[in-house]
Structure 1
Amino acid sequence: MRTAGPQRPDLARELLARAAEAATRRAQRARNQLDAVQLGQGRHSDHANTNVLRRILAEHDWPGHRLVGPAAARAAWSIALHSDDAPDFQRAATTLLERAVRAGDALVQHWAHLHDRALVNSGRVQMYGTQFLLRADGVVLYPVHAPQLLDERRASVGLPPIAVALEAVRRRYAPDHRAEDALAVALRQVA
């Protein structure tokens, strides 16, 4: 049985290229491999990515699996997730992504992650424990609503227990990055 490709492969290619470039830049930033000019270029690129996704959302609603395919839908989620300088846009994207999840056109895990990010960026506590802070002394979880129920909420959206996710993030950002590729793949599957 052959599955149909995305309705808009042109949008899929654009989202994939933009998200891949941004991911590479974020990895370099996490390792302090960017100078001040490159950091500024990265901020400009993130702003441009937000504007492209804003246009796509205005024209097509959330770019889900049917419109752009699963990989590009993930790319759109990543762009929205990292649109931290546009909190109103991020909240609107969360609403559209939730609608796509209800229609079976997006992953609930992506919605939970974006929902948490929008909450944290608006100064509120997160619900699903997907947002971490990388500090000099290690990785810590941003404050979470009703922590005693966190694993139950995470399970309700298909996320693993918080201890598993926290360990994966800590390994990913440990000083020894030799196993990073395997861990990055695992973290994407976990988060």
Structure 2
Amino acid sequence: MFVLNARSRLFTILVGLALSIAVTNAHGQWSQPELRAELLEMRRVDQDARLKCLGSAEEQMKCFREIAEKIDAPHTKRLNEIFDKHGFPSLAKVGDDGLRAFMLLVQHAVSDEIRERVKEPMRLAFERKEISPDRYAAFIDRLLVNQGKPQIYGSNFEIRDGRMVMSPVEDPPELNNRRRAAGLPPIEEYAEMLRELYKIEVVLRGKEN
């Protein structure tokens, strides 16, 4: 999934490992089914638009920029309205799929305002194991990179000269220890997964040629 980073003009690749935790409501019910339905519909619109971004890299980037203006911007406004009215759309409120839809939409938001607002509720949901480690890491790292800060978990990569290069990371020697504590695999395994998935050279920080 390619995301436009307006600050650096680099397209940050946020890749979630296929390790999502199967968390469901015990009774298959949610306290806010209408909100859940709205989030799922917003996600459908988001994904349908992105699936149409085909062609060359330049054509895809143009498509993503148009999506940011026509879809992501109004979605960002709506996400802030939802948070104002309903608070954080937790597992109990919207179920696992509703929460995952919300997280995806937050990742595609055109400003960091909504990400800052939900950062603490996200952390608490992660501690309750309502959010998988890979999704939480992608959320935190994206926010930090957008703010010009080093990421914590190493989930953000940038396209540079046809290679995927890890965004700056805090205290690189301790990266795998932080990943282990969060329930993530070693960064070397993550990089290998990216190589297999995208068939592209992947460069870890401190190991550039």
- Give the structure-2-normalised TM-score: 0.71
1:22 and 1:114, CA in 2 relative to 1: closer, same or farther beyond 3 A?
same
% same residue = 26
1:155 and 1:66, CA in 2 relative to 1: closer, same or farther beyond 3 A?
same
Deviations 1:86-137 (CA, angstroms, capped at 9, x unpaired) = 12322222222123334x2731523332111110000000001111113342
CA contact (8 A) 1:7 1:66 kept: yes
Structure 2: tracts of 5 or more residues without a match: 1-25, 201-209
State whether structure 2 residue 165 is matched by structure 1 residue 140. yes
* Residue 145 of structure 1: how far off its partner (Å): 0.4
Deviations 1:19-55 (CA, angstroms, capped at 9, x unpaired) = 2332343454475455857742443201122122212
| C-alpha separation in 1, matches of 2:157 and 2:182 | 18
| Corresponding pairs, count | 172
| C-alpha separation in 2, matches of 1:120 and 1:106 | 24
Deviations 1:40-94 (CA, angstroms, capped at 9, x unpaired) = 24432011221222122122222121111111111111111122x3123222222
| C-alpha separation in 1, matches of 2:119 and 2:129 | 14
Query: Cα RMSD between the aligned structures?
Result: 2.5
Query: Match for 1:81 among 96, 101, 107?
Result: 107
Q: Which residue of 2 aligns with 1:121?
A: 146
Q: Which residue of 1 aligns with 2:31?
A: 7
1:31 and 1:66, CA in 2 relative to 1: closer, same or farther beyond 3 A?
farther
Q: Helix, strand or coil for the counterpart of 1:69?
A: helix
Stretch deviating more after TM superposition (2-11 or 147-156): 2-11
1:111 and 1:38, CA in 2 relative to 1: closer, same or farther beyond 3 A?
closer
Give the structure, 1 or 2, with the largest relative contact order (CA under 8 Å, sep 6 or more).
2
From the two aligned structures, give the one with the greater helix fraction: 1
